[in-house]
Structure 1
Amino acid sequence: MIILGYESSCDETGVALVCTERGLLAHSLHSQIAMHRDYGGVVPELASRDHIQRVLPLTRQALDEARLTLQDVDAIAYTAGPGLAGALLVGASVAQSIAWALGLPAIPVHHLEGHLLSPLLATPAPDFPFVALLVSGGHTQLMKVEGVGRYELLGETLDDAAGEAFDKSAKLLGLGYPGGPALSRLAQQGDPAAFDLPRPMLHSPDLDFSFSGLKTAVLTRLKALEGQAGGLTESQRADLAASTEAAIVDVLGGKAIKAMKRSGLKRLVVAGGVGANRLLRQRLVDDMKKLGGEVYFPPLDLCTDNGAMIAFAAAQRVRAGLVDLADRGHAFTVRPRWDLHEQAAPAEA
């Protein structure tokens, strides 16, 4: 069975083709980073308009790469939420229109489930069950994953997500957009031990996170450095970037390992854009070796939002018997705010 998948929840337009037997066949992706850079962040109206311009050319590109036509497709999948309402509507309406025209089922997919299952596209892929660390610009969660649609929330951020902590700290340091990768590049030139920044909730008894206090600490330290004689030096800027990255990674790594010990599992999966961070990857690889376990990441080009993870998540739900392929009703809605368990619960009933 071949599934055509669409992702348009924020500032990436992704289209992909996945076969339930052969895996990923093709994927095409356009990032809007250059367009939003002048604004220092995503402008929802511009994002929606750009998705409209990109979605059909990317569909043709993916089909050509896979050497397929729309007549070879058996189902259409799309991100139904969470995300920006206007952006979600572009992908959803295109997916539902194609499905209606071809008489195919349309499969709404939760954006986080796409991220959660994306490491299964890697080689080797993890087996169930595993603990997942979801880290992105909008989400930081620890989940226990027993199987497709069977998720238990272990902990989550109480305020800012890890990606927000990266981006907001980068903005304070005067770095470009997107801030996370820019801060990580600068951090490679600095000393991570130069500044003693807080590790919020690192030693709390639960598995929750908090990053807003770290951002405040970076601002306080930055103002002090700028107020010194001669102002902030480039060396100090790099040191502050390195210290900030180290603090975020310490919290993510510490909580992830605590979750592994409590669960008794030996497989850790990391997904979401922050999962591409070099320091976080190395930290978790080293820590999991000490535990006698393994850590799995999606391929680097599939860490950010993409259509492959949406088509793949739909394929996994089909294989698990969680999708009614006989349903040809094409009324739909998008859900800018959507708890992952609201999708999983009906499938478990």
Structure 2
Amino acid sequence: MKILDIKIVKSNYRPNLEAYPYTKPTDFYPEIQKTNPLEAAGYNTTSFVKMIGENGESIIEVSDLVGDIILKLKNSIIGKDTDETEKIYDFLYRTTLPFGRKGIIMMAISSIDLMLWDLKGKEMRKPVYKILGGPTAEIIPAYASHLHPTNIKELQKEAEEYLNEGYKAMKMRFCCSPIDGPAGMQKNEDLVKAVRDVIGYDVELMADVWMAWNLKYAKRMFQRLERYELSWIEEPLPPDEYSAYKSLSKLGTPISAGEHAYGIQEFKLLADSGVEILQPDALWSGGITLMKKVQGLAEAYGIQVIPHTATAYNLHFLFSCPQYVCPMAEYLTKYRWMEDFLKNPPKPKKGVFYEKEFDGYGFGIDILV
């Protein structure tokens, strides 16, 4: 199937920008108030991009900035075959080398790649995970991802709700950064203890820093939290501080990172720095084509891949991977990242995603005009 055109479809849709408390890399600057990860990622305004092929079309939601880049790249791929995902990915990556490799350029390449895989699946009348070599299993365990720092009773109530819904793993957020000093360390520990007191030690617990700590602070927090047996601490440092990650990895608690990594080279740097759980995002890191490369890297290093959000796309990757490499999927329980406009968005039942039969990704997009 040839690519005929790529267009921006106008919409009045705006994502939910409710600001939950969490740590962030700008915590060193108190004048910057609470923000939302969606807004920080440029999703305060969005576009819908449509790729039109000879026998079908695919639509994806992106930030307005990413949509602009896609339109600038489109003339270089119109007329190419949708089957040529590897060639198109490499061509776009090399074309944008002088000004790309990261950020919105790679997000644009990711979106193009995802639409190509969708069109391939629709043309073959198969789910994308089958084209990728799956399924390797009938179910994918989900972990509940939210637990932002509120008061202790509210946090414990939320954790208990996830237990009752059948989740065997969940991820929380911290409240304090280096600027908050020793008192902040105690508050962070109190949050983790509060959740552990509710869920016990038979349920996996993870915690997300979102790039907010420095090495000195992170070392002290890792030591304080070791007794709580966290399955991982996520992005404790800014993404490019590889030597600091290597130093931190010696302390015992596994480290996860990768939602802000782009291209296979950066994931290799993370693996070489002692990161044990790689977290590519299908919408950001390079699409499914990149994620399959990350899977191979993880297998070679004996580490794991647990993708960041973008569940509607990531599930196809996960169903194509051995579960010892890719053991579970993140499920955002409260953020409305894509659910407002997806028809039949994937949702876990009793903490589990089930394999389904459909064409492409298996969902439609209802553009809110």
Q: Same fold (TM over 0.5)?
A: no
Flag the structure with more relative contact order, 1 or 2, with Cα contacts below 8 A and sequence separation at least 6.
Answer: 1
Structure richer in helix, relative to its length = 1
Normalising by structure 2, we get a TM-score of 0.29
Normalising by structure 1, we get a TM-score of 0.30
